[in-house]
């Protein structure tokens, strides 16, 4: 148990200290306000219900301000590149956003529940003598009724906020956001990403109501003690600044479509011009908007081109109503499929001048962008989850080529220096290699595992796989394709295709399943064997395990990394992204 505890602390210490600090701040605020109101005369009538409501209100102010910070994407992207990234888990920003939302829900229940169900009834049922002695200065004369309390500015704004927040929080849950709840028409419109996106903008109204609510407090009469606006000022201005920046930057980042391809399996590839000011790292993502589909919706996609490329590209799978509409739109402007291309549709500037307009915004940070700090990489993509790693593979390949060119250049310089030293007997100084060298690549090996159910998926980045296989002469990048719709290779039902595949690959160097130089395996990888081999092969190395795909496999990989870290000297660090 002690070993497990130590490992847990090692893996989660960033999350632990951030969440612990956050909880301590909430406890401090709650306690401070609780005891502050215990000194007020209203406590004599309204009791501990009032104290609990006011304590919860103070945490609500704090959390309503804090919840904006994790979604300030530009700020987060910048901060993760600073030394603060060593201590703060910026990759968990959305999880922290959700955690704060849960705390807000609890705070609302405590605040509103204690007011409506406890201290308001205590107030209206109090005797006239007690009311005049303790509450007359706060609530005026005559004593208000329950309806008077609810229909006042404080009551109306509070009730409206609860309604709007309940709508936004409900539609943001996984069941509604991912269409897991099937409702009859026309109620089906309140499920899906669109409902989540538009309902979240109700918070603009919530924040306006919150400021008004904070200016009409029952028991606070001095303006500087109405602190709601003080909590909200900086986060709201920061978030508003981010939205304004995104608005203007996306306007300047109008891109020209260079190529469009629609592959089997409902995958759309967009290749576009790269704006001069657009700088990014492999593994990062950007937002894409197509005004012809929706003038308001922005959707995030991993950048699949390498930073050294003179274009930007994204791979978009048909998973929701927006992506379906986008695919239909481009299907209308694409050329019909060429014979033998398995339904592949294409379009480019030479054939179509009326390609739809696209806007982009980004880039934004993601876990995969930190791949370069590891000695060895294990990249695992499930289906369309391979997209963040396309850029990483291309970037690694570019760096490998540059490293080889640099090594050749240094070798030639060294030889020339040897000749000059040998021809001169006057100098006794030793031969030195020039000191000005580019920073060497830390990553020595990369292993890419792509697991997919559809054979047509290999068309997505067939060119990248072939390019890696051809140019990676030193064997730095090892690629593995797994097709799960076929029985594993030892099974008699797949024996024939395995034999034909092996013969064709040995004779022509091309895999008959993927159409690339990379051999395709069948069924699912045995992940325990994969990680154990890496642990044995790269002793004492720091291996970055990056996964993008459905959450199920993430749990298995995380558990295996945990087990192997306890057994050997090889250190596995697991990072995940879900789509």
Write the DSSP assignment of 325-376 as a string of letters: HHHHHHHHHSBPPPTTSTT-EEEETTT-S-PPPEEEEEEE--GGGGGGGSSE
Q: Which residue has the tokens 């929701």?
A: 320
**427 or 99: which carries more pLDDT confidence?**
99
For 368-377, b where at least 16 C-beta lie within 10 A, e where not — what string? bbbbbebbbb
Q: Dump pLDDT digits (tens) for 121-177.
A: 888 888 888 888 887 777 777 888 888 888 888 889 999 999 999 999 998 888 888
Q: State how far the Cα of 476 lies from the Cα of 234, in Å rounded to an integer.
A: 48
In a domain, 206, yes or no: no
Looking at 365, 384, 418, the residue that finishes a domain is 365
> What is the rounded CA–CA span in Å between residue 519 and residue 513?
8
Whether 321 and 446 map to the same domain: the answer is: no
The counts of H helices and E strands in the chain are 19, 14
Rounded mean pLDDT, 85-92:
86
Q: Are residues 262 and 389 in the same domain?
A: no
> Same structural domain for residues 529 and 381?
yes
Residue-wise pLDDT for 441-471, tens only, equals 567 788 888 887 765 566 666 666 776 767 6
pTM for the structure as a whole: 0.78
DSSP three-state, residue 378: strand
Mean pLDDT, the chain, whole residue set: 79
Mean pLDDT is highest, among 69-78, 360-369, 427-436, 552-561, for 69-78
| Residue 442 contacts residue 373 (beta carbons within 8 Å) | yes
Q: How many CB atoms lie within 10 A of CB 397?
A: 21
* Residue 345 shares a structural domain with residue 378: no
Residue 485's pLDDT band (boundaries 50, 70, 90)? low
Domain count, the chain: 3
Domain identity same for 330 and 390: no
Provide Rg for the chain, Cα atoms: 30
* 509-515 contacts at long range (C-beta below 8 A, 24 or more positions apart): 511/481, 513/455, 513/458, 513/481, 513/483, 514/455, 514/458, 514/462, 514/465, 514/481, 515/458, 515/459, 515/462
Residue 159: predicted pLDDT = 92
With a pLDDT cut of 90, the percent of the chain lying above it is: 17
> For residue 421, what pLDDT is reported?
44
Please report whether residue 205 resides in a domain. Answer: no
For 482, phi then psi, to 5°, come to -125, 125
Q: DSSP label at 303?
A: B
Same domain membership, residue 376 and residue 511 = yes
Find the Cα–Cα–Cα–Cα dihedral 25, 575, 526, 568, rounded to 10°.
Answer: -80
* Predicted confidence (pLDDT) per residue in 297-322, tens digit: 888 888 888 888 888 888 888 777 78
With b meaning 16 or more CB within 10 Å and e meaning fewer, what string describes 173-208?
eeebbebeeeeeeeeeebbbbbbbbebeebbeebbe
pLDDT at 374 over 90: no
Backbone angles phi, psi at 141, to 5 degrees: -125, 140
- Please tell me the distance from the alpha carbon of residue 329 to that of residue 290, in angstroms, as a whole number: 10
Tokens of 537: 């092969």
Tell me the CATH number at 485: 3.40.50.80
Q: Do 464 and 376 reside in the same domain of the chain?
A: yes
Place of tokens 């990989």: 557
561: pLDDT strictly greater than 80: yes
Q: What is the mean pLDDT of residues 36-49?
A: 86
Identify the domain containing residue 42 by its residue range. 3-151+222-250
Residue 421 or 447, more confident: 447
In the prediction, which pLDDT does 457 show? 62
- 435 within a domain of the structure (yes/no): no
CA 516 – CA 481 distance, rounded (Å): 10
What is the pLDDT, as a whole number, of residue 19?
95
Residue 523 is classified by DSSP as S
> Residue 174: inside a domain, yes or no?
no
pLDDT digits 0-9 by tens, 189-231: 777 778 888 889 899 999 999 999 988 877 777 777 788 899 9
Same domain? For 55 and 134 the reply is yes
Shortest CA distance to 225 belongs to which of 217, 233, 234? 217
Q: Which residues contact 562 (CB under 8 A, 6 or more apart)?
A: 7, 11
pLDDT of 119 over the 80 cut: yes
Q: Smallest Cα–Cα separation from 52: which of 112, 126, 124, 121? A: 112
Sign, Cα dihedral of 73, 74, 77, 80: negative
Instruction: Sheet containing 299-302: give its strands across.
Output: 254-255, 358-364, 285-289, 299-302
Q: First-to-last CA distance in the chain?
A: 34
Give residue 226's pLDDT.
82
Q: Is the dihedral of CA 416, 419, 424, 429 positive or negative?
A: positive
Q: What is d(CA 310, CA 390) in angstroms, rounded to the nearest whole number?
A: 16
pLDDT at 431: 40
Q: Which two tokens stand for residue 216?
A: 């009409």
pLDDT score of 473: 64
CA distance 480 to 534: 14
Residue with the two structure tokens 């203007």: 248
Based on the fold, state whether residues 142 and 63 are members of the same structural domain. Answer: yes
Instruction: State which of 26-35, 351-360, 375-384 shows the largest mean pLDDT.
Output: 26-35
Spatial contact of 291 and 273, defined as CB atoms under 8 Å apart: no
Cβ neighbors of 97 (< 8 A, separation 6 or more) are 67, 70, 71
Q: State the pLDDT at residue 406.
A: 67
Dist CA 572 CA 579 (whole Å): 23
Predicted local distance difference test score (pLDDT) of residue 506:
52
577 vs 235, more confident: 235
Residue 163: inside a domain: no
Residue 198 lies in a domain: no
In the predicted structure, residue 492 carries a pLDDT above the cut 70: no
pLDDT for the residue numbered 437: 38
- Quick one: 69 and 81 in the same domain? yes
Q: What is the pLDDT of residues 274-292, one digit of tens each?
A: 888 888 888 888 888 888 8
Residue 189, in any domain of the structure: no
Q: How far apart are CA 404 and CA 486, in angstroms?
A: 39
Question: Do 66 and 131 fall within a single domain?
Answer: yes
Judge if 126 and 15 occupy the same domain.
Answer: yes
- Within a domain: 160: no
Question: Which CATH number goes with the domain that contains 328?
Answer: 2.40.30.10
């Amino acid at each position: 148990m002690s070993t497990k505890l130590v490992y847990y602390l090692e893996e989660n210490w960033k999350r632990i200290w951030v969440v612990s600090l956050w909880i301590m701040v909430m406890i401090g605020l709650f306690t401070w306000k609780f005891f502050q109101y215990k000194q007020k005369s209203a406590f004599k009538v309204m009791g501990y219900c009032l104290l609990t409501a006011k304590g919860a209100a103070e945490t609500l102010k704090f959390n309503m301000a804090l919840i904006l910070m994790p979604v300030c994407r530009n700020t987060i992207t910048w901060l993760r590149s600073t030394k603060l990234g060593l201590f703060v888990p910026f990759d968990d920003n959305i999880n922290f956003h959700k955690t704060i939302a849960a705390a807000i829900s609890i705070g609302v229940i405590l605040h509103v529940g204690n007011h409506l169900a406890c201290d308001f009834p205590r107030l209206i049922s109090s005797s006239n003598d007690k009311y005049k002695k303790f509450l007359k200065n706060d609530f005026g004369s005559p004593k208000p009724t329950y309806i008077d309390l609810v229909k006042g500015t404080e009551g109306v704004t509070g009730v409206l906020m609860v309604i709007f927040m309940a709508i936004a929080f409900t539609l943001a849950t996984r069941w509604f956001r991912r269409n897991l709840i099937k409702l009859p028409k026309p109620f089906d419109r309140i499920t899906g990403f669109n409902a989540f996106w538009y309902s979240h903008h109700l918070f603009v109204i919530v924040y306006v109501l919150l400021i008004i609510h904070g200016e009409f407090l029952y028991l606070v009469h001095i303006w500087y003690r109405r602190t709601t606006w003080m909590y909200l000022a900086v986060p709201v201005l920061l978030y508003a600044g981010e939205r304004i920046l995104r608005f203007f930057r996306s306007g300047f980042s109008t891109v020209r479509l260079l190529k469009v391809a629609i592959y089997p399996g409902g995958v759309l590839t967009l290749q576009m011009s790269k704006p001069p000011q657009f700088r990014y790292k492999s593994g990062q993502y950007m937002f894409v908007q197509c005004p012809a589909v929706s003038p308001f919706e922005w959707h995030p996609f991993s950048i699949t081109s390498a930073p050294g490329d003179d274009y930007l590209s994204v791979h978009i799978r048909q998973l929701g109503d927006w992506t379906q509409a986008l695919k239909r739109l481009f299907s209308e402007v694409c050329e019909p499929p060429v014979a033998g291309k398995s339904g592949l549709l294409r379009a480019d500037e030479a054939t179509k001048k009326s390609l739809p307009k696209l806007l982009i915004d980004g880039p934004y940070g993601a876990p995969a962008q930190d791949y370069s700090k590891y000695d060895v990489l294990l990249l695992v993509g499930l289906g369309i989850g391979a997209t963040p790693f396309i850029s990483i593979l291309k970037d690694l390949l570019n760096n490998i080529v540059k490293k080889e060119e640099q090594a050749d250049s240094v070798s030639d310089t060294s030889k020339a220096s040897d000749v000059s030293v040998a021809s001169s007997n006057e100098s006794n100084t030793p031969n030195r290699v020039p000191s000005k060298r580019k920073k060497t690549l830390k990553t020595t090996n990369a292993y890419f595992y792509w697991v997919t159910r559809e054979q047509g998926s290999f068309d997505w980045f067939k060119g990248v796989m072939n390019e890696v296989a051809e140019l990676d002469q030193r064997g730095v990048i090892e690629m593995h394709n797994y097709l799960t719709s076929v029985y594993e290779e030892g099974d008699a039902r797949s024996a024939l295709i395995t034999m034909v595949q092996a013969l064709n690959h040995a004779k022509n160097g091309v895999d008959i399943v993927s159409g690339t130089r990379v051999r395709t395996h069948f069924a699912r990888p045995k992940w325990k064997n994969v990680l154990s081999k890496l642990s044995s092969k790269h002793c004492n190395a720091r291996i970055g395990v990056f996964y993008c795909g459905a959450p199920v496999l993430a749990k298995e990989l995380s558990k295996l990394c945990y087990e192997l870290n306890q057994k050997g000297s090889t250190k596995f660090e697991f990072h995940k992204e879900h789509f």
